[in-house]
Structure 1
Amino acid sequence: MDKKSIIGIVVVALLFVGFAYFNTKEQEKYQQEMAEWQAYQDSLAAAQPVVEPDSAAFAPVDSVALAARREQQVAAMGADLVAAREAEAGEFTVENDVLSLRFSTRGGQIIGATLKEYDRYAPRDAELHPVEMMDPATARFGMTFYVKNGLNNVNVNTLDYVFEAAPVETAADGSRIVVMRLPVAGDASLEYRYTIHNTAAPERDYLVDFDVRLVNMAREMANQTQIGIEWSNTSYQNEKGFKNENMYTTVAYRFPGERSIEELGMSEESKSKQITSSLDWVAFKQQFFSSVFIAPQHNISYADLGFTTAQPGSGYIKDFTARMTVPYDAATEGYDFAFYFGPNKYSILKKVSLAEDDDLRMERLIPLGWGIFGWVNRWFVIPVFDFLRNYIPSFGIVILILAVLIRLIISPMTYKSYVSMAKMRLIKPQVDELAKKYPKQEDAMKRQQATMELYKKAGINPMGGCIPLLIQMPILIAVFRFFPASIELRDQPFLWADDLSSYDSILNLPFSIPFYGDHISLFALLMAASMFFYSYYNYQQTASTQQQVPGMKFMMVYMMPVLLLLWFNSYASGLCYYYLLSNLLTIGQTLVIRRMVDDSKIQAIMQANAARKSNGRKSKFQQRYEELMRQQEAMQRAKGNTPKKR
């Protein structure tokens, strides 16, 4: 760094310090002036005489003025809307076997949804309560549109009006029908019709049909091309770990015809996004439960979606908002919408539809992974898991059997990987001899060619030990996504864990350790220990077959288990338990294979391969590798022959 750069940095630093000092002084001056002003206001208030309340002050408002004001409102809005605005709101509840819905005539909306079959998390000494999808005090669902009133257009927001509720009907199939009506003008009205099914089919019973009818509204509606919808609520924290639940809680939506869905992603504060394309549905998604507004036949044409994360310990998880529009023209008589209030359960969401030809893809709310990871979960892990849990009551035993099955499936790969490492170990003395024969850097090409020729004759694939590990990765990542998203594990105890979908705590700490948490998870601790022993054993095997990169032992043997312990301490105990079993089974499988494999037989096979391939052609891999080495050697020579500048 030259002298001018140093002077420039010093000047900038002095300016920054000076500005900070000046700003601090100005803030102190401002706060002092505000304090003096407040004291002055307090002194004035204290100096005012206290006036005893006079009965005249509480006299009723002039009835003539009140009547005149109401006439003005009627002239501006119409008598029906004014009456609906002044009416007193009421609430009532309608239930089926799995769902309890709380309605309010204010806005004709659902302000509460309780899932009877699921309990939300509470401390062990507290009373359990069913899962509630929203805080009734924050629930809002309103439609906005314009109606004509003489020469004026009136902006109607249904949240400002009280609907007329008809008595709840019970249909022949046992479903309950709620009809609420907002009079607009004369025989024109907005009608909400909710249908709560009770069919013993969860994909139907968690689904609430919401039909909106514009009864004789065509002549009353102003010229407009869309109707607005405002939907928002605050969701409760339903799981034990706030951080883990918050990671899965977001706003999700689906474009028509797409196989996948989109999400706003995770944020510890807030996030929002505007979408100008059509949408099939919008979901306020939590880790294991979702509230979904569905509009497949009258697609949402615009949406402004967002959320704000609640404070840990507040009892809430996120504040959701969705401002949407749906198309409208003079021929529109209504909309066929629906709500889903229920669990994020694959077998249920996959069947949710409003018509036979609907393909809502709501099962994509469950984060099973993209590409091959999602395929492994959908076509292997979930079917096997569902089959086993139908016959085995303990989910801990189900996870054990699943781990054993997966290890058996990939055992041929494990065997090939071990045999490849055994061949590398047996041939290492000859490789070391080649290193002694070509010790110079300029002979690197010859050394590599001789090594590849040696591998070829012995029938060794240098990638033979890595390819099986790469093939196993989709399964490992698939189960990593499956267990935290599997609602079947929720509230399922095993050994010391009371909930396999959340962390297991054997000791709650009086303080929080950064990146670790305020508790000790025994499954995470055992998983990290098993990872250490497996990594140590695996390193010993590979160290005897090939040269190790400096620092690799520290990273793989020591650093990786510690990082996993920090990461998984607040993760699902079912996942930690599975990885513990997987590590133990892998170690046991490797020890068994080691006893089965005879080094002398492998040596004989290598010698036979060498005799058979002594005059054989080079493989394509070997040819490409040698060509790469020639290019590197040419570049090094060119660099070495470049004259140095003086």
Structure 2
Amino acid sequence: MDKKSIVTIVVLALVFAGFYYVLNQDQKRYQQEVAAYQAYQDSIRQTLEPEVAEDPTVAGSTDRTDSTARAQRLERRVSAVGALLAEAENAQAEEFTVENDVMKVLFSTRGGQIKGVTLKDYDRYASESPVELFDPASAEFALTFYLRNGLHSADINTSEYVFRAEPVRTLADGTHSVVMRLPVGEGAWLEYEYLIHNERTPQRDYLVDFNVRMVNMAPVMADQSSIGIEWSNVSYQNERGFKNENMYTTVAYRFPGASSIEELGMSEESKSESVDEPVDWVAFKQQFFSSVFIAPQQLAHADLAFATERPGSGYVKQFAARMAVPYTAQTPGYDFAFYFGPNKYSILRKVEVGGERLSLERLIPLGWGIFGWINRWCVIPVFDFLRNYIGSFGVIILILAVLIRLVISPMTYKSYVSMAKMRLIKPQVDELNKKYPRQEDAMKRQQATMELYKKAGINPMGGCIPMLIQMPILIAVFRFLPASIELRGQSFLWSHDLSSYDSIFDLPFSIPFYGDHVSLFALLMCLSTFAYSYYNYQQTASSQPQMAGMKFMMLYMMPLMLLFWFNDYASGLCFYYLVSNLLTIGQTLVIRRMVDDSKIQAIMDANAAKKSKGKKSKFQQRYEELLRQQEAQQQARRKK
């Protein structure tokens, strides 16, 4: 053979030798993987098999049948979701707690989720145990998605699998980092990172950052446009009155950029709602505390629901939310957050995620429109200012009532003067009634009466308008005090908790619409309402005969209705209305002593003289023309 042939043979031999070597190594690696997989299946099978009794006669064919069935179920799960997830599904879960200055958070590796939150600074009513936001046994949080499995896809719910938790790390700024991972494939895993801060600023420390990372998961993910989120729990009863707490407990959410929030309402039974528009956050809101899942501009859809628990069970409501976030193969993960804390205005208004204010303060029901404006810009600043210098919240409520009465005192004065004018002009009105006694002359009588009012400078609505103007303030306070967590647990006089009802006597039975207790603040408030209504009626009945028909409603029915309504309400609110009524009565008595009827009469006479010389206004001319047209129409109808 020549030299070229020898070289060719040698090269071919080396190629075949290399190929054989690589093939042999691949075969060995494959056998090792098979052996490891078999060992893994054997270990899982052993964990599923019941322990065999020492006496061989005890373990019979039933145990072997159960063992075989469990092994078959295991093989089916391995075939469905893969070895790694099958292992995570059957692993032993662990629980551990991480805390900062304001709360303690319970984690579970089952689902890698938060199972419970305890607030250190707040106690449950009549108990030294701290407030727990929800029952750990009912808490569920999970991501749902699909993994590729050959020609099929596997439906994954993370609450069914045990994550691998890394040791908790404390960062340089005091933040606790909790990392848990769920392997979903070779070199691919789902990672949860929780950050619990300890900055000693409530708006930051009640906020838990929740970062989800999808490491190398794109190759194993099935085709899908979204990832589901399932969140549910059952809230404890943390306040004294179940009825009142249940009324404020609901599910709330916010649309991106909105200054207001939406709620499912205050149904006493159950309610559900489907939201097909994007939302920024979803809250499981209780009377004074909330659990909020925050995902700014990420939640594309939400199905929300709640159901009311039985009174006396120790729970208030079952919450459930099914949400979805967009997903593509390029999605690296998501930056979520939780807020677990009090519904305190000064804290919620400062909560931000990613530099964006979330309007969480809207969880506090301060009222809509002008009522909310009055609370946010008037009542709350004054309340917070007084809190800095006065330790008793009962005294603060008293001062708040005094300040509000002083603000609306000019309207009270005008209302009294208007009623005094109506009283003084009553004899002249009676003369007009005698002059036009027939029903056919009603239009003339009305026209003459309005002319008389005009000359005397009387506005028939003068006594009502001031009352209408001050109504927004009264309603704003009505919304603010029961929702103010600052009153929670604060005692005053015989009330142990100004945020709940006071009881001087517990009835052995329950009265429909009233309850099973007697609230003294509510009772005194209703008696003061009766006293003010009686005094006001005495002043107006003589000048306004139509008031006689409203006597029963004003004097008796209204105070009685308030007694039934407010018996379960916050004692702080009843105390405020009690003080406000007493101040109004006192204010009216002072104004009556200050105002001289003779001076009012002189002013009315001067106005009448001035009006008689003056030219009629265009409004008065149009009004008189309208009355003449109506009278002509009535006469035409009578002729027919």
Q: Secondary structure at the match of 1:280?
A: strand
Match of 2:471 among 456, 473, 477: 473
Q: Secondary structure at the match of 1:439?
A: coil
Superposed counterparts of 1:549-588, under 5 Å: 549-588=547-586
Q: By how many angstroms is 1:135 displaced?
A: 0.4
Match of 1:548 among 546, 549, 556: 546
Distance 1:268 1:77 in 2: 42
- Residue by residue over 1:260-315, the C-alpha shift from the partner in whole angstroms, topping out at 9 and shown as x without a partner, is 10000011211000010000000000110000000004x21111100000000000
Superposed counterparts of 1:43-442, under 5 Å: 55-57=59-61, 59-60=63-64, 69-122=73-126, 127-297=127-297, 299-356=298-355, 358-442=356-440
Query: What one-letter code is carried by the residue in structure 2 that aligns with 1:294?
Result: I
- Residue by residue over 1:196-221, the C-alpha shift from the partner in whole angstroms, topping out at 9 and shown as x without a partner, is 01111001110000011001111111
Distance 2:73 2:115 in 1: 32
Q: By how many angstroms is 1:628 displaced?
A: 5.3
Query: What one-letter code is carried by the residue in structure 2 that aligns with 1:249?
Result: T
Q: Secondary structure at the match of 1:296?
A: strand
Distance 1:353 1:104 in 2: 27
**Alpha carbons of structure 1 residues 248 and 611: separation in structure 2 relative to 1, 3 Å:** same
Distance 1:240 1:216 in 2: 51
Q: By how many angstroms is 1:71 displaced?
A: 3.9
Query: What one-letter code is carried by the residue in structure 2 that aligns with 1:111?
Result: K
Q: By how many angstroms is 1:434 displaced?
A: 1.0
Cα pair 1:77 1:149 within 8 Å, conserved? yes
Partner of 1:43: none
**Alpha carbons of structure 1 residues 132 and 432: separation in structure 2 relative to 1, 3 Å:** same
Distance 1:513 1:631 in 2: 56
Q: By how many angstroms is 1:107 displaced?
A: 0.4
Query: What one-letter code is carried by the residue in structure 1 that aligns with 2:86?
Result: V
**Alpha carbons of structure 1 residues 635 and 83: separation in structure 2 relative to 1, 3 Å:** farther
**Alpha carbons of structure 1 residues 365 and 628: separation in structure 2 relative to 1, 3 Å:** farther
Q: Secondary structure at the match of 2:304?
A: strand
Cα pair 1:452 1:622 within 8 Å, conserved? no
Query: What one-letter code is carried by the residue in structure 2 that aligns with 1:447?
Result: R
Superposed counterparts of 1:17-32, under 5 Å: none
Query: What one-letter code is carried by the residue in structure 1 that aligns with 2:559?
Result: P
After TM superposition, the structure 1 stretch with the greater mean CA deviation from structure 2, 69-78 or 379-388, is 69-78
- Residue by residue over 1:445-484, the C-alpha shift from the partner in whole angstroms, topping out at 9 and shown as x without a partner, is 2222221111111111111111111100000000000011
Instruction: Provide the alpha-carbon RMSD of the alignment.
Output: 1.7
Query: What one-letter code is carried by the residue in structure 1 that aligns with 2:100?
Result: N
Q: TM-score, normalised by structure 2?
A: 0.89
Query: What one-letter code is carried by the residue in structure 2 that aligns with 1:253?
Result: Y
Q: By how many angstroms is 1:157 displaced?
A: 0.5
Distance 2:588 2:73 in 1: 87
**Alpha carbons of structure 1 residues 330 and 417: separation in structure 2 relative to 1, 3 Å:** same
Q: By how many angstroms is 1:58 displaced?
A: 5.4
Cα pair 2:489 2:497 within 8 Å, conserved? yes
Q: By how many angstroms is 1:631 displaced?
A: 5.3
Cα pair 1:531 1:583 within 8 Å, conserved? yes
Distance 1:237 1:631 in 2: 65
**Alpha carbons of structure 1 residues 622 and 315: separation in structure 2 relative to 1, 3 Å:** farther
Q: Secondary structure at the match of 2:352?
A: coil
**Alpha carbons of structure 1 residues 235 and 63: separation in structure 2 relative to 1, 3 Å:** closer
The structure that has the greater radius of gyration is: 2
Distance 2:71 2:507 in 1: 66
**Alpha carbons of structure 1 residues 581 and 632: separation in structure 2 relative to 1, 3 Å:** farther
Cα pair 1:103 1:109 within 8 Å, conserved? yes
Cα pair 2:540 2:547 within 8 Å, conserved? no
- Residue by residue over 1:212-258, the C-alpha shift from the partner in whole angstroms, topping out at 9 and shown as x without a partner, is 10011111111100000110000001111111111110000011111
Query: What one-letter code is carried by the residue in structure 1 that aligns with 2:200?
Result: A
**Alpha carbons of structure 1 residues 392 and 66: separation in structure 2 relative to 1, 3 Å:** closer
After TM superposition, the structure 1 stretch with the greater mean CA deviation from structure 2, 418-427 or 441-450, is 441-450
Query: What one-letter code is carried by the residue in structure 2 that aligns with 1:572?
Result: A
- Residue by residue over 1:336-392, the C-alpha shift from the partner in whole angstroms, topping out at 9 and shown as x without a partner, is 100011000000000011122x12111000000001000000000000000001100
Partner of 2:449: 451
**Alpha carbons of structure 1 residues 442 and 69: separation in structure 2 relative to 1, 3 Å:** closer
Q: By how many angstroms is 1:73 displaced?
A: 2.9
Q: By how many angstroms is 1:562 displaced?
A: 0.4
Aligned length: 584
Q: Identity percentage over the alignment? A: 74
**Alpha carbons of structure 1 residues 500 and 625: separation in structure 2 relative to 1, 3 Å:** farther
Cα pair 2:506 2:517 within 8 Å, conserved? yes
Q: Unaligned 5+ residue runs, structure 2?
A: 1-56
Partner of 2:609: 611
- Residue by residue over 1:411-461, the C-alpha shift from the partner in whole angstroms, topping out at 9 and shown as x without a partner, is 111111111111111111111111111111222222222211111111111
**Alpha carbons of structure 1 residues 635 and 479: separation in structure 2 relative to 1, 3 Å:** farther
Partner of 1:31: none
Cα pair 1:231 1:323 within 8 Å, conserved? yes
Query: What one-letter code is carried by the residue in structure 2 that aligns with 1:403?
Result: A
Q: Secondary structure at the match of 1:219?
A: helix
Query: What one-letter code is carried by the residue in structure 1 that aligns with 2:213?
Result: R
Cα pair 1:252 1:282 within 8 Å, conserved? yes
